[in-house]
Amino acid sequence: MTELLIGLVVAVFVGRYIIKGYSPTGVLMVGGLLLLIISALMGHSVLPEGTKSTGWNATDIVEYVKILLMSRGGDLGMMIMMLCGFAAYMTHIGANDVVVKLASRPLQMINSPYILMVAAYILACLMSLAVSSATGLGVLLMATLFPIMVNVGISRGAAAAICASPAAIILSPTSGDVVLAAQAANMPLVDFAFKVTLPISIAAIVAMAVAHFFWQRYLDKRDTAVVDSVDSNKDDVIETNAPAFYAILPFTPIIGVLIFDGKWGPNLHIITILVICMVLTALIETVRNRNGKAVFAGLDVAYRGMADAFANVVMLLVAAGVFAQGLSTVGFISSLIGLAQNFGSGSIIMMLVLVTITVLAAMTTGSGNASFYAFVELIPKLAAKMGINPEYLVIPMLQASNLGRTISPVSGVVVAVAGMAKISPFEVVKRTSVPVLVGLIVVIVATEILVPVH
């Protein structure tokens, strides 16, 4: 019980300072190091089983940071950096803008406000395949779909909720979160993304679309204020000089993952596929612009995107790994397992505990990544000790981190959407709360039905 209390106190300390605006990476690193120091003082080994000790507990702590830097900065880290670099390149050449521009046109032909709203939500979810950043996608949607929805009679709050919530459910198989979750589940990326996660995601999106229809209509009817319209017109679209066929470029990694899976072609690593996609895009840019200097400058944008990913994502992974190892070595995991098993069915209780912790962490910090990365490291150890399928634990956590972010008044996407809609972030959260709750329930139920426990 003491170990559980220590873990909870440090977790509260970490959450408090992240809420206050401190860097999640720094706070998680400090929290993890503190837990490792406490573990060493308690006489526990701070290194994973099978790892050779340096001989001193103090240097073992630093040794573990080194191990994480080498492993996270290697295969997994490079994969995430390549994905973020590719996304930055797609934004630079205007390919993401073309996707949004083309996707918004069919919506202009729908006259029923709430049917248009649901169609806009589903379309926005599909667009998340091309735009992986929740905040980036929200801003793009506010610039395109928001004026269309408001001008056909949808309230600002409802339209803003639609723009804020597409990234609440992960669809993209090349998302960094999915890559990390597949590794934690010890599954090939294609199998994890398409055979396990995708059916659950689709079920949650359909349920959330229905929830949006009834919840937004209910709130609009209850609200006696007159719905304002924006100064824009229905023809407002993003300005871009990129040709229409560029809309396919952001999806080439997904196409590559499906083709080069060992059945249709050679079995290629996702990094190899991303390199091919970037070279192909650079060649197309060369033919289009006939300016080698501009092409190289565009690739520099991709490299800077990779550097930003190292600073913002990979180092966060390292810090989260230190924090997770600290929770493990101090005895928090063993105590958590014992507590869950005391309630009876250990597997379902543990899954619900992890989902609850992840949602609360995402709500309070405003970051889906920070909450997911902080606890996903625990999954392999928890699953092994409890004798259950790691997929059963990791999939609900994966979706819960993004769902929790969507109902956080301090998350980047909610703040950005609320600011552009000129409403309070709490109004956006109120509008997204019920659809997110419905989505979370569907994810849990679908996981229980579709994913084997053992």
Most confidently predicted of 231-245, 286-300, 315-329: 286-300
pLDDT digits (tens, 9 = 90+) for 297-333: 999 999 998 898 888 778 877 887 788 788 878 887 6
pLDDT digits (tens, 9 = 90+) for 325-363: 888 788 876 676 666 556 555 678 888 888 888 888 788
Give the count of beta carbons closer than 10 Å to the beta carbon of residue 214. 13
Assigned token pair, 348: 């379902």
**How many helices (H) and strands (E) would you count in the chain?**
22, 0
Helix or strand run (H / E) with residue 315: helix 315-329
Report CA 237 to chain centroid distance, whole Å. 27
What does the pLDDT read at residue 336?
65
Burial zone of 233 (CB within 10 Å; 0-12 exposed, 13-18 middle, 19+ buried): exposed
Give the count of beta carbons closer than 10 Å to the beta carbon of residue 440. 24
Question: DSSP secondary-structure letter at 86?
Answer: H
In degrees and rounded to multiples of 5, residue 133 shows phi and psi of: -80, 125
Q: What does pLDDT average to over the chain? A: 82
Q: How many domains does the chain have?
A: 1
Q: How far apart are CA 33 and CA 345, in angstroms?
A: 33
pLDDT digits (tens, 9 = 90+) for 15-67: 778 777 788 788 888 988 999 999 888 888 888 777 888 888 888 899 988 88
In degrees and rounded to multiples of 5, residue 214 shows phi and psi of: -80, -40
Taking the whole predicted model, whether its pTM rises above 0.75 is answered as no
pLDDT at 276 over 90: yes
What does the pLDDT read at residue 237?
47
What does the CA dihedral 48, 52, 54, 60 come to, rounded to 10 degrees? Answer: -10
Query: Which domain covers residue 412, as residue numbers?
Result: 2-44+51-450
Label residue 424 by pLDDT band (50, 70, 90): confident
The average pLDDT across 225-250 equals 62
Q: Do the Cβ atoms of 49 and 341 come closer than 8 Å? A: no
Q: Do the Cβ atoms of 53 and 40 come closer than 8 Å? A: no
Closest CA to 108 of 224, 207, 232: 232
